[in-house]
C-alpha cells in the first residue's frame, strides 16, 4: 500500500492506548487545493513503504488529521455556532464574524473545507493506487509484525471511509464538486470539471456500503485497541446523514419522496442494530467531558488529550470575562434560550416570557428543559466548577462578568456545553482535560429518522417504517435525565417543533449551520438574532441583531485561487 510521507511529519498523540487526533496533527500538511500532488513534495518512497510506525501508519494518521484540522479551534471560523442563531461571538475580531458581516467572498472564503478535503483525498488516492508497493517483510521477525500486518489489512477500508467523509464535507458546503478517485497530473488537476451533487451522493453511499462489512464494529477488540478510527458504525452513520442531506430541500427541490425513503431506511438500520452494536443513549451531560470518548452513544468523534497543550484552550476561549484568562467566546443567544420548553406543558421560554422579565421577582429558568442548564451559563450560576475559579457569574450591566468590560458577553449568557468547568486556566497551576468533539452520535439518528419518515410518509404518526416520527423523538425526550412532554403534533406544527427540538438536542454540535441551509430557511432563522441585556436592577430585555444574509450563502464560494488555476471550474451562483 502507498502512503506518502510529507516533509513536515505530523505526530500521533497516544494516551493510555487509545487513538487521538490532536491539534499537533494540523497545520503541517502541504496544500493540495488544486488537486496537485507531486513526488517533489514527499519524502523517499522506498523508506515510506518499508517502515510501519513512522512511515505507513503516520501517513494514515495524516488523513485522519484532516478531520480535525482546526475545525473546532478556540477562535476558529470553523466552530460555526457564532454564524447561527445559537450564539454571538463575543469579540468583534472573531473569525466567525466573517460569515455574518458581509466579509465573505471567493477571495476571502474563510473555510478550509476545500483545501483540507482535497488534501486528504489526494493522499487516499495515492495510497490506494500504490497499495501493492508497500512491503514490510524485512520486519517479519519483529514481535509486532503480525499486529502491523493486521492493521494494514484495515487501512484501505479506513481510508476509503475517510475519502467518502471528505466528499460529504465538500458536498454539503459546495454542492457539485470534482469527483477524483485517482492521482492526477498537473494538467488534469487544472482542467477537471465539477461532478453533480447526485453523483457525489451516490459515490459516498456506494463506498459506505462497500467498505462497511470489512470495518470492525469496534476497535476495542482489535490490535492496539485504538479507539477513534473508522468503524462499521461510522460508515453506516455517514451513509444515513448523506442521504438525509440529499433528500433535503436544498438538494431535492422537487421533494422526491424516494430520497426521503432512502434516508429513513438508512437511519432505521442504525436504530435497529444499535443494541447489537452496543450503542445506547447516554445521559446528556456525559456527551462531553473527560470520559466522553468512551461514551456508548458516540459513533465517531475527535479526541484531544489532557497532556496536549491545547487541553484547556477551548476553556480559555469560552470561560466568561472576569474568569482568569477567559475570553467569553461563543455566547448563547436569547434566540436559542427562547426555544427551550418547560417541563410542565411544553410551552417555550419565549412564549411564556415574551416581554421584559424582572429577575428579582421571577425565576424564568425554573422548570426549563434540563438541556438548557447543561448548555448555557446564566446570571447567578456558579461557573466554572473548579475550586480555584468557581464564582457566581454576574451578567447584569456592571456585573463582574459583564459590560462595560471589553469582550464580555453580548447576549447575557455564556457557553457551558463542551466547556470543561474543571479546567483551571489561571496563569499558574493550569490544568488540562481530555476533550471529545462529536462527529456522529446515536441521538442524531433518532432525529434524522424522524425527519426522513415524516417527509417520506407525510405524517408524524405513520407507522410504515415501524417507529413513527413522534416515537423516535420521544425516545430522546423520555431519557431519565430529560423527561420532557412528548410529541403528538402533525403538519406544520410538527415541523416547527421538530426544528426546535433538533436545535436544542444538537446545540453547539455544528449541525445548526448546515441544517438551516439544507432546509433553505436562512432568512427565517439567521437574519435576525435575539440577544438579552440585564440591567443593573436585574430586568432582562431582548434586542435584535441584524445579520447579513444572502441566499447565495446556502453554498460556499469556491476559492478564487482555484478558479484562477482551473478555468473549467464554475463558481456557485451569486458569488
Considering only residues 228 and 267, tell me which one the structure prediction assigns the higher pLDDT.
267
Does position 4 have pLDDT exceeding 80, yes or no? no
What ranges make up the beta strands (E) of 401-468?
414-415, 435-441
The pLDDT assigned to 303 comes to: 82
**Cβ neighbours around 380 below 10 Å, total:** 15
> In whole angstroms, what is the distance from residue 561 CA to residue 571 CA?
12
CA 130 to chain centre: 32
Model pLDDT for residues 549-564, shown as the tens digit of each residue: 999 999 999 999 999 9
The pLDDT assigned to 153 comes to: 86
Does position 277 have pLDDT exceeding 60, yes or no? yes
Distances (CA, A) of 481 to 281, 282, 283, 359, 377: 11, 9, 6, 27, 19
Does position 338 have pLDDT exceeding 70, yes or no? yes
Could you give the maximum distance between any two Cα atoms of the chain, in Å? 77
Residue 541 backbone phi and psi in degrees, to 5: -130, 155
> In whole angstroms, what is the distance from residue 159 CA to residue 504 CA?
33
**How much of the chain, in percent, has pLDDT values that exceed 70?**
85
Model pLDDT for residues 217-235, shown as the tens digit of each residue: 998 777 767 778 899 999 9
DSSP, res 413: -
DSSP, res 552: G
Tell me the whole-structure pTM to 2 decimals. 0.90
> In degrees to the nearest 10, what's the CA dihedral of 113, 195, 241, 19?
-50
The pLDDT assigned to 61 comes to: 85
DSSP, res 198: H
Total count of residues recorded for the chain:
575
> In whole angstroms, what is the distance from residue 428 CA to residue 365 CA?
35
Say whether 218 sits in a helix, a strand or coil.
coil
Considering only residues 97 and 138, tell me which one the structure prediction assigns the higher pLDDT.
97
> In whole angstroms, what is the distance from residue 273 CA to residue 231 CA?
14
Model pLDDT for residues 280-289, shown as the tens digit of each residue: 999 999 999 9
Amino acid at each position: 500500500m502507498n502512503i506518502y510521507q510529507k516533509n513536515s511529519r505530523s505526530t500521533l498523540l497516544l494516551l493510555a492506548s487509545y487513538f487521538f487526533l490532536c491539534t499537533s496533527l494540523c497545520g503541517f500538511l502541504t496544500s493540495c487545493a488544486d488537486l496537485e500532488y507531486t513526488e517533489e513534495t514527499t519524502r523517499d518512497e522506498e523508506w515510506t513503504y518499508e517502515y510501519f510506525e513512522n512511515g505507513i501508519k503516520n501517513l494514515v494518521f495524516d488523513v485522519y488529521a484532516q478531520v480535525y484540522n482546526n475545525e473546532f479551534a478556540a477562535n476558529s471560523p470553523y466552530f460555526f455556532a457564532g454564524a447561527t442563531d445559537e450564539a454571538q461571538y463575543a469579540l468583534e475580531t472573531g473569525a466567525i464574524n466573517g460569515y455574518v458581516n458581509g466579509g465573505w467572498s471567493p477571495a476571502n472564503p474563510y473555510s478550509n473545507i476545500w483545501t483540507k478535503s482535497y488534501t486528504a483525498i489526494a493522499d487516499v488516492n495515492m495510497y490506494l493506487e500504490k497499495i501493492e508497493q508497500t512491503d514490510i517483510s524485512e520486519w517479519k521477525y519483529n514481535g509486532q509484525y503480525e499486529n502491523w500486518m493486521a492493521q494494514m489489512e484495515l487501512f484501505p477500508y479506513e481510508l476509503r471511509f475517510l475519502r467518502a467523509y471528505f466528499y460529504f464535507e465538500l458536498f454539503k458546503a459546495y454542492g457539485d464538486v470534482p469527483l477524483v478517485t485517482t492521482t492526477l497530473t498537473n494538467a488534469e488537476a487544472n482542467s477537471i470539471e465539477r461532478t453533480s451533487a447526485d453523483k457525489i451522493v451516490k459515490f459516498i453511499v456506494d463506498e459506505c456500503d462497500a467498505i462497511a462489512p470489512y470495518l470492525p464494529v469496534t476497535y476495542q477488540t482489535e490490535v492496539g485497541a485504538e479507539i477513534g478510527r473508522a468503524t462499521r458504525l461510522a460508515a453506516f452513520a455517514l451513509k444515513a446523514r448523506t442521504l438525509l442531506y440529499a433528500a433535503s430541500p436544498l438538494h431535492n427541490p422537487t421533494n422526491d419522496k424516494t430520497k426521503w425513503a432512502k434516508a429513513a431506511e438508512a437511519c432505521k438500520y442504525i436504530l435497529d442494530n444499535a443494541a447489537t452494536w452496543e450503542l445506547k443513549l447516554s445521559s446528556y451531560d456525559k456527551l462531553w467531558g473527560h470520559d466522553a470518548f468512551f461514551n456508548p452513544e458516540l459513533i465517531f468523534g475527535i479526541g484531544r488529550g489532557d497532556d496536549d497543550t491545547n487541553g484547556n484552550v477551548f476553556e480559555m476561549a469560552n470561560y466568561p470575562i472576569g474568569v482568569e484568562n477567559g475570553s467569553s467566546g461563543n455566547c448563547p443567544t436569547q434566540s436559542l434560550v427562547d426555544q427551550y420548553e418547560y417541563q410542565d406543558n411544553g410551552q417555550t421560554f419565549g412564549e411564556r416570557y415574551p416581554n421584559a422579565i424582572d429577575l428579582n421577582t421571577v425565576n424564568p429558568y425554573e422548570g426549563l428543559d434540563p438541556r438548557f442548564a447543561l448548555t448555557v451559563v446564566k446570571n447567578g450560576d456558579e461557573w466554572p466548577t473548579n475550586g480555584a475559579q468557581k464564582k457566581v457569574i454576574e451578567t447584569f450591566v456592571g456585573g463582574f462578568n459583564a459590560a462595560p468590560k471589553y469582550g464580555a458577553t453580548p447576549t447575557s449568557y455564556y457557553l457551558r456545553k463542551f466547556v470543561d468547568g474543571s479546567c483551571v486556566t489561571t496563569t499558574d497551576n493550569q490544568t488540562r482535560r481530555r476533550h471529545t468533539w462529536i462527529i456522529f452520535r446515536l441521538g442524531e439518528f433518532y432525529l434524522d429518522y424522524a425527519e426522513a419518515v415524516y417527509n417520506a410518509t407525510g405524517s408524524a404518526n405513520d407507522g410504515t417504517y415501524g417507529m413513527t416520527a413522534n416515537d423516535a423523538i420521544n425516545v430522546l425526550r423520555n431519557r431519565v435525565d430529560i423527561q420532557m412532554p412528548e410529541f403528538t403534533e402533525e403538519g406544520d406544527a410538527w415541523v416547527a417543533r421538530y426544528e426546535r427540538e433538533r436545535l436544542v438536542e444538537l446545540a453547539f454540535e455544528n449541525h445548526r449551520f448546515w441544517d438551516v441551509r439544507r432546509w433553505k430557511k436562512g432568512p427565517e432563522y439567521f437574519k435576525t438574532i435575539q440577544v438579552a441585556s440585564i440591567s443593573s436592577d436585574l430586568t432582562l430585555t431582548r434586542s435584535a441583531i441584524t445579520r447579513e444574509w444572502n441566499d447565495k450563502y446556502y453554498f460556499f464560494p469556491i476559492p478564487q485561487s482555484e478558479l484562477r488555476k482551473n478555468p473549467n471550474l464554475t463558481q456557485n451562483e451569486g458569488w
